[in-house]
Amino acid sequence: MNRSILSGIRSPKDIQGLSSPEIVALSSEIRKKIIEVVGANGGHLSSNLGVVELTIALHRVFSSPTDAFVWDVGHQCYTHKLLTGRYDRFTTIRKKDGISGFPKKDESPHDAFDTGHSSTSISAAFGLMEARRLAGNPGKVVAIIGDGALTGGMALEALSHVGQGNNDLIVILNDNKMSISPNTGAISQYLSRLTMGASYQRFKYRFDRAVRRIPLAGVPIASFVHRFKRGLKGLLFKDNLFVDLGFEYVGPLNGHNVDELEKVLRDVKALHHPVVVHVLTRKGKGYSLAENDPSSFHGIGPFCISDGKVEKFDSMSYTEAFSRSLLDEAARNPRVVAITAAMSKGTGLAPFQHRFPERFFDVGIAEQHAVTFAGGLAAGGMRPVVAIYSTFMQRAVDQVIHDVALQRVPVVFALDRSGPVPDDGETHQGLYDIALFRPIPGLTLVCPASAEETSLLLSWALRQDTPTVMRYPKAACPTEMPAFSEEISPGRGVFAHRDGLDVLIVCTGGVYAEVHEATNLLARSGDPVDCYALRFIKPLDEEYFIDCVSDYRAVVFVEDGVAAGGVSEYLARLIGERRPQILTETLAFGEVFYPQGSRAQILSFAGMSPAHIVDAVRVMRERVAAENLA
């Protein structure tokens, strides 16, 4: 039986002496391990399979952690983790108490900076490099960024800053012609033009290697040829963006040839000015299903390795409900357009793209541009729907305020993955959108509790002349209740259960499934409770709400957002001012970053599981009984 190379690696030093055949074998083992674990746990597959050789080459040339790597987004760091002492724990990736699917400083000294969102690596790496310079610490700093992440404005801002200075930052541009959805825009087209020179780069590599092998005269000749080529390129070729910004440009290189990568990286390591190394890789390499459909295998749930089939919700998900509803609205109204920031499949817009391609816009990983672009579309008479994950929408708060709310234009924001988000950890939790957007004047916030309400609220939002945020979780839609089909009345929610009892649960739609489970548990134990689902987070019909709660002795709020600045905080204060005799309790997320785990585990950690809701209701009943005795 062949000895496993990967299982014996405890640090990057262990790969330094490997031969070329052993490197090939190691690459194969790494791919097999990643496919096996992601198949069981879910995770980011295509991006990780594409950078196996690149990661090996980086660790053979540079000396981590003395040399620091900053991975943009970080969803391509699995090989890095396997080579830096985490092989034994790799099966726990993205699981509760397991290793993260992204770089984490607390997890390993080889992870120089926590990442999880796009286009941040060059800024962070430059900061690390300058801190080392000021402190007199040794080591190179390398930023690894994909061509998709390069579409983000922050990456271009950082390139402009770095190129102005006398520094030796190394930027590895991992060009796989993909972000999450296929890349669009001028940057992608520009990189494609650069990659047309790949055949030249192969010739250049072979020619340089041959010249250097000439006895005695090889090195001087190679040095002369290098200087001559730089001078000639300076005279004849002026259209390289990176050179214009002040970088040395190297590439494009074959990102799956470790020998070629190592040779170039060793040369680059000796430079004393900023450099961009352009590397061509294939997303999903080594697993044919992912190579043929890298978008579907970008971020994926547990799947069957033999056929690639993914575990499905037993019922329709909120994303699917939104997708179907938007198609219906677009069929009725030709002014409805859809916008995504490189997430057409994840946000459910792929069917819209297929059916209405002329009304679909993928702006790349550029949420700020997406929002202001939508504002312009709305000002021009269109009805734009911007579908972005809640955690990524945080990056465009200024644009929502200045370019949409202040303009009072009818943009609809569909915030997928609001509330607790399973498996991806702190960087992907959608817990802050209510607190961020509720204070903004003129902005309506709604939270459907079912597939039917998703359809009703989207239709209502598209008929308004002011902007609306509709938030919903990454979860299956709960069983429909008759109340969820009731006509929309602005500022008012609906009673999912109303039997005239003494305790009322008031919840946001995203956590209704857990509340419903809790009400069933209470009913079966002879301790039933009423439930009011907030359709509107803002505006609120305060008189109607106070009238609804006036007959209750206690109200338990359950909100899938942070407590500070949340709607529950506001309504509890309103009850305290208008009906001080009513007891209130709030279950919401605290001011901590919540670790990775399943949705149920995150809710349990936050004290918001169905069992916690049941306990809160029973405690309130005990308090009511104590007051009666007093």
Tell me the Cα Rg of the chain.
27
Residue 381, sorted as left (phi over 0), alpha (psi -120 to 50) or beta, turns out to be left
Containing 26, the helix (H) or strand (E) segment is helix 20-41
> Read out DSSP for 433-484?
HHHHHTTSTT-EEE--SSHHHHHHHHHHHHT-SS-EEEE--SSBPPPP-GGG
Closest CA to 83 of 152, 7, 22, 148: 7
Alpha helices, DSSP H, located in 333-416: 350-355, 367-379, 390-393, 397-399
Pairing of the two strands 141-146 and 170-175: parallel
The answer to whether 424 touches 596, Cβ cutoff 8 Å, is yes
CB proximity list for 294: less than 8 A, separation 6 or greater: 46, 176, 178, 283, 284
Catalytic residue, chosen from 140, 177, 283, 345, is 283
Q: Is 329 a catalytic residue?
A: no
Length of the chain: 630
The answer to whether 418 touches 472, Cβ cutoff 8 Å, is yes
Q: Is 367 a catalytic residue?
A: yes
The answer to whether 85 touches 107, Cβ cutoff 8 Å, is no
Letter for the amino acid at 24?
Answer: V
Catalytic residue, chosen from 29, 53, 320, 367, is 367
Q: Is 282 a catalytic residue?
A: no
- Tell me how far CA of residue 504 lies from CA of 207, 499, 515, in angstroms: 78, 10, 11
Catalytic residue, chosen from 395, 438, 553, 621, is 395
- Angle, helices 318-332 vs 451-462, to 10°: value is 40
Q: Which residues are catalytic?
A: 283, 367, 395
